[in-house]
Amino acid sequence: MGGGYFIYMLLGAVGTIVGMILSARLKSKFNHYSQIGLSSHLSGKEVAEKMLHDNGIYDVQVVSVDGFLSDHYNPQNKTVNLSPAVYQGRSVASAAVAAHECGHAVQHATSYSMLKFRSAIVPIVQFAASAQQFLLILALGVMGATGNQTILLITIIAFLITTVFSLVTLPVEFDASNRALAWLDNSGIALGEEHQGAKDALWWAAMTYVAAALSALAMLVYLVLRYMGNRE
C-alpha cells in the first residue's frame, strides 16, 4: 500500500499546487481588471440582465450571493448568482464574469447538449467523489494484503466518473466564455482593450478547469496502469 499511496499523494499534491497557482493568478487578473472601468458604465447586474434579454431569456433572475468569485448559474431555480464585487461592479472584470454566467443560462435555454449531459450525471458524480478517497485507501490496503484487485477496479470506476465530469466541464466552460465574449463584442458593451481584458480574465478562469481535468486524468491513468501492471 505504501508506495502506491505515496504516488497517489504526490499526484494529488502536484495537482493541488498547480491549482493554487492558477487560482492565485485568476484572483490577480480579476483584481487587475476590476480596476478598469467599463466605458458603458453598466454594473454586472445590468450586464447580465441585458445579455439575458438580448437572448430572449426573461425567466432567469439575477441575484447577489456572498463570497469572492462565487459566481455561478443555477439551472434548478434559473438564477444567475453573482458575487457582490461582480453584481455591483462596473468594471471589465464584472462584465466578463456576469456575461460568462449568462452564457450558461443561454446554454440551458438552448438545450446545449454538453450542459444537459453534465447536469444529468451530477448525482452519480457526487456519490463517486464522496466515496473515491475511502475506496482508494481500502483498495490499496486489500490489494497489498491479499492481491485482490476487485476494490481497486471499483475505485477506478469512481475516478472515471469524476474524471468524465471534469472533462465534460471543459467544453461547457469554454462555450459559455465564447458566448459571453461574442455578445460583449456584438452588443458594444466591451470593445477594443476592454474586450481583450475580458478575454484574458475568462481565459485564466478556464485554465483552472483545465488544471482540474488534467489532474483527474493523471490520477485515473495512474490507477489504471497500476491495475494492469498487477494483472501481469
Contacting residues for 211 by C-beta, under 8 A, at least 6 apart: 15, 18, 19, 22
Q: How many Å separate Cα 56 from the centre of its chain?
A: 26
Helix (H) or strand (E) holding 62: strand 61-64
The residue to which cell 461592479 is assigned? 89
Pick 165 or 216 by higher pLDDT: 165
- Cα separation of 100 and 204, whole Å? 13
In tens, the pLDDT along 99-123 reads 999 999 999 999 999 999 999 999 9
pLDDT of residue 91: 96
pLDDT higher than 80, residue 143: no
Per-residue model confidence (pLDDT) at position 221? 87
pLDDT digits (tens, 9 = 90+) for 8-52: 567 667 767 877 887 788 788 888 999 999 999 999 999 999 999
Which positions are annotated as active-site residues? 101
